[in-house]
Amino acid sequence: MIMKKDKMRFGESGTTNAADPAAPSPAAEGIDSSATPASVPSEQEVAELRSQATKGKEHWEQLVRTAADFDNYKKRAARERQEAVKFANESLLQKLIPVLDNFDMATAAATAPGGTIESLQTGVNMILSQFRQALTDAGLEEIDATNKVFDPNFHEAVSQQETADVPEGQVVQQLRKGYKLRDRLLRPATVIVAARPRPPQP
Helix (H/G/I), strand (E/B), else coil: 176: strand
Cα separation, 14 vs 16, in Å, equals 5
Task: Kindly report, residue by residue over 170-198, the tens digit of the pLDDT.
Answer: 999 999 999 999 999 999 999 999 999 88
Q: Is the pLDDT of residue 20 over 70?
A: no
Whole-prediction pTM value?
Answer: 0.56
Task: Kindly report, residue by residue over 143-166, the tens digit of the pLDDT.
Answer: 999 999 999 999 999 999 999 899
- Domains of the chain: residue spans and CATH: 141-202 (2.30.22.10)
129-to-64, 105, 112, 119, 126 alpha-carbon distances in Å: 59, 16, 23, 16, 5
- Helix 117-137 to helix 90-111 angle (10° resolution) is 180
Cα separation, 185 vs 94, in Å, equals 24
Query: Measuring CA to CA, which residue among 189, 84, 74 is closest to residue 141?
Result: 189
Burial of 110 per CB tally in 10 Å (0-12, 13-18, 19+): middle
Q: How far is CA 18 from the centre of its chain?
A: 92
Task: Kindly report, residue by residue over 120-130, the tens digit of the pLDDT.
Answer: 888 888 999 99
Q: Is the pLDDT of residue 30 over 80?
A: no
